[in-house]
């Protein structure tokens, strides 16, 4: 009787041994704890905590003020304030009157028709900054005190205007870009009336005086050099025997 073939036994693959990270016993990990009463805190720069002298504070403030853009021209500022006055937010009294009129219409049964929100100025620095970053602000200004109930805020911006005022806003933006924002570096260079410091003024005067003195003595030096060259030529000419 033929014996059947024995089934091959499957070899079990041993599981991969997890490689353990070899840690040197010479170096022991000692994590630091910066809690109260624990390890010493790392060294930090204490410049921000220093109280600078008065003259250095003035220098720092002056450097910042020199970079501040000057105010707009009086005519341009007047046009912008007139446009901003049209889009000032309503006061508490105006809001109360509007709500009373709406309530009267509703009680008389004339229907509650929702009205479209009118475009108004957007106020406060964070709001205006977000609008500028999202490219929604068309024009911003930093003198909102004359724009109705915005005496406390620092800056306002136009986001939408009525169709009849779009031309005026576009002309105003173009004028400001041409005369002010487009020439920012040039205007900042001429701020302060070009008044130099008390140390630089005498230094420049000293340099100009030296230049004037050099211009006066320069022709004499040129004449002396010319005569010296002529003497050398004549001496070399007679030495060679050509003049004998």
Check whether 53 has a pLDDT greater than 90.
Answer: yes
Dihedral angle of Cα 123, 127, 129, 133, to the nearest 10 degrees:
-130
CA 112 to chain centre: 48
Phi, psi (deg, nearest 5) at residue 80: -70, -40
pLDDT for the residue numbered 56: 92
7/2 Cα distance (integer angstroms): 15
Question: Residues 10-38: what's their mean pLDDT?
Answer: 76
- 66-94 pLDDT, tens digit per residue, is 777 667 778 888 888 888 888 888 888 88
Domain spans, the chain: 74-93+117-189
Assign 242 a pLDDT band (cuts: 50, 70, 90): very low
pLDDT for the residue numbered 55: 95
168/172 Cα distance (integer angstroms): 6
Cβ contact 137:159 at 8 Å: yes
Q: What percent of the chain has pLDDT over 70?
A: 70
pLDDT for the residue numbered 125: 81
Cβ contact 153:194 at 8 Å: no
pLDDT for the residue numbered 175: 87
Given the structure tokens 């005067």, which residue do they identify? 205
pLDDT for the residue numbered 12: 63
183/170 Cα distance (integer angstroms): 19
Two tokens, residue 238: 């007679």
In this structure, whether the domain defined by 74-93+117-189 belongs to CATH 3.10.20.90 is answered with no
pLDDT for the residue numbered 39: 92
Two tokens, residue 53: 């002298």
Greater confidence (177 vs 111) lies with 177
Q: End-to-end alpha-carbon separation of the chain, Å?
A: 147
Number of neighbouring beta carbons within 10 Å of residue 140: 18
Assign 20 a pLDDT band (cuts: 50, 70, 90): confident
pLDDT for the residue numbered 244: 42
Q: Check: pTM over 0.85? Answer yes or no.
A: no
The helix/strand/coil state of 165 is helix
- The region of weakest confidence among 179-188, 189-198, 221-230 is 221-230
Packing angle of the helix pair 166-179, 74-86 (nearest 10 deg): 150
pLDDT for the residue numbered 243: 45
pLDDT, mean over the chain:
77
Which residues does residue 157 pair with via DSSP β-bridges, in sequence order? 122, 140
DSSP 76-139: HHHHHHHHHHHTPPP-HHHHHHHHHHHHHHHHTTS--PPPPPPP--EESHHHHHHHHHTT--SE
Angle at 210 between CA 209 and CA 212, to 5 degrees: 65
Greater confidence (228 vs 30) lies with 30
Beta strand 156-158 with 122-123: parallel, antiparallel or unpaired? antiparallel
- 174-185 pLDDT, tens digit per residue, is 888 887 777 777
- 113-139 pLDDT, tens digit per residue, is 777 778 888 888 888 888 888 888 877
Two tokens, residue 16: 């991969």
């Amino acid at each position: 009787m033929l014996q059947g073939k024995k089934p091959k036994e499957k070899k079990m693959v041993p599981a991969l041994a997890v490689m353990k990270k070899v840690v040197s016993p010479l170096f022991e990990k000692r994590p630091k704890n910066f809690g109260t009463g624990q390890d010493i805190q790392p060294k930090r720069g204490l410049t921000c905590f220093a109280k600078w002298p008065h003259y250095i504070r003035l220098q720092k403030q002056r450097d910042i003020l020199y970079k501040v853009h000057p105010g707009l021209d009086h005519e341009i500022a007047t046009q912008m304030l007139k446009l901003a006055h049209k889009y000032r937010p309503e006061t508490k009294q105006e809001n109360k009157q509007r709500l009373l009129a709406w309530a009267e219409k509703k009680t008389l049964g004339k229907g509650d028709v929702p009205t479209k929100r009118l475009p108004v100025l957007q106020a406060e620095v964070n709001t205006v900054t977000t609008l500028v970053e999202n490219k929604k602000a068309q024009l911003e200004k930093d003198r909102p005190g004359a724009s109705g109930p915005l005496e406390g805020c620092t800056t306002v911006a136009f986001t939408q205007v009525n169709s009849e005022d779009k031309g005026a806003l576009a002309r105003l933006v173009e004028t400001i870009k041409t005369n002010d924002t487009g020439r920012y570096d040039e205007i900042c260079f001429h701020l302060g009336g070009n008044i130099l410091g008390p140390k630089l003024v005498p230094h420049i005067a000293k340099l100009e005086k030296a230049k004037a003195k050099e211009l006066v003595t320069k022709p004499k030096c040129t004449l002396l050099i010319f005569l010296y060259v002529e003497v050398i030529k004549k001496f070399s000419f007679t030495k060679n025997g050509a003049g004998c």
